[in-house]
Structure 1
Amino acid sequence: MADDDKTLPTTSASRSEVDAFLRKVAATPNPNRTGRRGRLMFAMDATASRQPTWDQACHIQAEMFQATSALGGLDVQLVFYRGFRQCQASPWVGNANELLRRMTSVTCLGGQTQIDRILGHALKESRREKVNAVVFVGDCMEEDIDQLCHHAGELGLLGVPVFMFHEGGEPVARRAFEQIARLSGGAYCPFDASSAQQLKDLLSAVAVFAAGGRAALADYSRGKGEGIRRLSHQIGDR
């Protein structure tokens, strides 16, 4: 499948580009359901350029818990990197207030990207107990792309899709993020400061998918935006 099939278009994208993205998400395998709460790893770049988006994410994250409350809930682990080789992971938390408390205690610091450490951590966590999806939010990539792709492929073999949310249009990061998404079975999703509502809706949709699979996403899509409704419709046709 072509790289474009993994790209979530911006609001100015053509209908064919939107359809291509929806076909990709529709093909994402269902999370393995074991009667347990969904587990979503919420990973973010917390280097100096990210402070405005970090603040935005603090407000958005509550939507993920609200969207999954009827599905038995969602456990989220916050993972972030910043500064000089600082990469931290929170305990798994099951409510928005606790995640918000942890997020608001973080100040973004200058440093290089550490995406490989996040992917490696996702592998370790999923081998210990199934992680249903990984969300990453960032704007650049300064690492060995082959190593990133290797870990992304390993996550794909474990059935852990990575949804790469890319702020801005930096081309090196775009190529890397698209490949990580493709190899893991996830999707690449560009956004900018003007698409906060779209980001909120799509993060919630990924959370619903992590908690309940395609059927839950179909229910969630009712009354939502056109993009999510069409995504759910195509999933239901499979």
Structure 2
Amino acid sequence: MWRWWTDGDPVLAGDGEGTVSVHPQTPGGELVWSAESSDYGWSVSVGAEVAFTSALAAAQGATIILRWWDASGAYLADSTGDGGDGSFAAPAPAGAAWVQPVVLLPDALASPVPIGTSSLLIGSPSGGLSWPLDFGTPGSTGTLSVVNAGDAATHPVIEFRGPMERPSITNVDTGDVLEYDLPLAAEDVLAVDTAAGTVTLNATASRLYTVTSRSVPEQTWTLPPGPSQLHFRAASGDPAATATVRFRPAYW
């Protein structure tokens, strides 16, 4: 779950129950993302690849910053993207224990604008983004960019966590879809192992038969070398519903 804070400019409006908006009063205001459990963001290992995507940054020509803190909570460094890019990735530097996404807003605005969707992925030092904390709200803009740094296609493991109905994930670049016609309760996890070609509910029961006609065979759903844009959707669901994509770079 996200929290946001500022030093008073930009001004935040909303409590997380509806649309949360931000209103920059002067140029150069920072909107900071924090975890509910830590003022320093999310834990990270040195060398891990971290990627942050923000609809606000793309819409406002803003700059994404990944702010690094050490284990004691002391500021370490900033990694800074290009203005207007909706996503930015960087490896955790030496000494980093926490990462905090920041959006630097370039201009004052006459009225508030919605923060919109955002996503954070934290990988392992061995490579491969593997921990999306938020893939967006089902049925709206659950969009994420991932990068297979290898030179061969890789088979991810995908986990859908409810509550939602008929979850799906699409690789926009290939057009390949995986969709399953079943409801997931809040405690349910549907795991799709694309290498093994299995679909398992709560680690026990096969749900391969719930695949829809829109879907490709599981073992053909891969992430090719380079970047891929993924869309997470559901026929209906709760903002707490998520999709997790775990993979490692593959090589010939």
Is TM-score (shorter-chain normalized) higher than 0.5?
no
Q: Which has the higher strand share?
A: 2
Choose between structure 1 and 2: higher helix proportion. Answer: 1
TM normalised by structure 2 equals 0.27
Higher RCO, 1 vs 2 (CA within 8 Å, ≥6 residues apart): 1
Q: Which has the larger radius of gyration?
A: 2
